[in-house]
């Protein structure tokens, strides 16, 4: 029997969890995708614009949450848009997020193979990863939140170590000339970079765990704000250190950035391996979020089946899915299309909830 109750996410933790949900694999490739689209060093403008849009979306999401504090999303959603539509949305989400989970598994295997081993088969790495994710998802939901609170300082810490030690390598000339973008390119860049914020939706699903507080919209915005800041820093450093052309042409420019960083004293020769080792934590949390939310969604639609059965059902399917892409190119392509679908679905759903909530709210008061 419990004496104490620590079953809620406090407002401060909300910010960290929102940030943690968004930081994952996408930051690794973000400088490349944005520079590819914008073609000049002005990608940071695209990141900033998309960030501001996301701040707005975060605020909207927060509005939905504070209107129904402590409510389950199924209940909120069924009340606002009806049971049938809710179930449809949930099933769509479940399908997309499961695909996203599969992509994350594959990405982990791919990157681990790239930076840690040459010989160990990818399947084994991915299997080990999936099993640990299953172990985590099998625990309580609040423990997943706590896990993120532990990981976040490490993730941010290693990122700042990399940035600190690549500071001397920055050539500011790489950033010049400023403001030479074409509007169409910038628009495309904004479209690409906004996808990197796709994890924001998870806080909607975990809304029922959050302690009721009027600060919630602000905290969610704060989480997104942290992510914008980190994305901007990473982008500027990547372009500053690697140059526009290299940034465009390497798979994972952020890890390349770590490669360039030099720690004086010569003890750590390869910062990128250590960076990646710690970044596995960030990737792991996105994978856990994905598996847990798929479970949560399916459980809300089909209430008779136990959580554990869902986890043990979804994980093998996702693992098999992750083995379908034949090469790295395909992984990235599949990944970006899954993210596009997930992102548009998330934004649509958030707006639908917000508008109906406002409408119903007005009717209630008027």
What DSSP character marks residue 1? -
The reply on whether position 125 binds other proteins by CB under 8 A is yes
Out of 56, 135, 160, 302, the only residue in the binding site for other proteins (CB under 8 A) is: 135
Residue 287 C-beta: closest distance to other proteins, Å: 10
The reply on whether position 116 binds other proteins by CB under 8 A is yes
The reply on whether position 105 binds other proteins by CB under 8 A is no
Closest to 66 measured CA to CA, from 358, 363, 344, 292: 358
Contact present, 70 and 236 (Cβ < 8 Å):
no
Q: Could you give the 3-state DSSP secondary structure of residue 9?
A: strand
Residue 130 C-beta: closest distance to other proteins, Å: 11
- Here the tokens at position 42 are 């002005």
Number of C-beta neighbours around residue 45 at 10 A: 20
Q: Give yes or no for a cis peptide into 177 (omega within 30° of 0).
A: yes
The reply on whether position 129 binds other proteins by CB under 8 A is yes
The reply on whether position 86 binds other proteins by CB under 8 A is no
Residue 275 C-beta: closest distance to other proteins, Å: 11
* Conformation bin of residue 243: beta by default, left when phi > 0, alpha when psi is -120 to 50: left
The reply on whether position 132 binds other proteins by CB under 8 A is yes
Under rule CB under 8 A, which residues in 259-288 are in contact with other proteins?
Answer: 266-270, 273-274, 277, 280-281, 284
Residue 140 C-beta: closest distance to other proteins, Å: 6
Angle formed by the axes of helices 26-38 and 328-365, to 10°?
90
Residue showing tokens 């710690």:
278
Query: Which residues contribute to the site for other proteins (CB under 8 A)?
Result: 1-6, 10, 12-13, 112, 116-117, 120, 124-125, 128-129, 132, 135-136, 139-140, 143-144, 146-147, 149-151, 266-270, 273-274, 277, 280-281, 284
């Amino acid at each position: 029997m419990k004496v104490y109750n620590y079953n809620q996410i406090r407002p401060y933790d909300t910010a960290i969890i929102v940030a943690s949900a968004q930081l994952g694999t996408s930051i690794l490739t973000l400088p490349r995708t944005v520079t590819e689209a914008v073609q000049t060093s002005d990608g940071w403008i695209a990141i900033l614009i998309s960030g501001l849009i996301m701040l707005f979306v975060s605020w909207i999401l927060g509005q939905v949450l504070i209107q129904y504090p402590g409510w389950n999303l199924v209940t909120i959603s069924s009340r606002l848009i009806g049971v049938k539509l809710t179930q449809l949305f949930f099933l769509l989400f479940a399908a997309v997020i499961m695909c996203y989970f599969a992509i994350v598994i594959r990405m982990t295997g791919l990157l681990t193979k790239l930076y840690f081993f040459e010989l160990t088969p990818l399947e084994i790495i991915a299997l080990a990863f999936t099993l640990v994710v299953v172990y985590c998802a099998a625990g309580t939901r609040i423990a997943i939140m706590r896990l993120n609170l532990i990981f976040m300082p490490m993730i941010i810490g290693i990122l700042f170590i990399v940035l600190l030690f690549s500071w001397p390598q920055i050539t500011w000339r790489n950033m010049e000339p400023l403001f030479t973008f074409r509007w169409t390119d910038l628009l495309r860049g904004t479209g690409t970079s906004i996808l990197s914020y796709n994890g924001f939706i998870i806080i909607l699903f975990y809304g029922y765990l959050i302690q009721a507080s009027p600060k919630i919209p602000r905290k969610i915005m704060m989480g997104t704000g942290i992510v914008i800041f980190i994305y901007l820093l990473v982008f500027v450093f990547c372009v500053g250190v690697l140059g526009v052309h290299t940034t465009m042409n390497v798979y994972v420019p952020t890890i390349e950035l770590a490669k360039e960083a030099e720690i004086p004293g010569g003890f750590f020769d390869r910062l990128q391996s250590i960076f990646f080792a710690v970044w596995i934590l960030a990737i792991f949390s996105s994978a856990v979020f994905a598996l847990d939310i798929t479970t949560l969604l399916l459980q809300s639609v089909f209430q008779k089946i136990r959580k554990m059965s869902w986890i043990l059902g979804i994980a093998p399917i996702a693992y098999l899915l992750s083995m379908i892409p034949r090469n790295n190119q395909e992984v990235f392509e599949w990944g970006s299309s899954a993210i596009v679908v997930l992102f548009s679905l998330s934004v649509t759903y958030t707006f639908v909830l917000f508008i109906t909530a406002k409408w119903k709210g007005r009717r209630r008061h008027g």
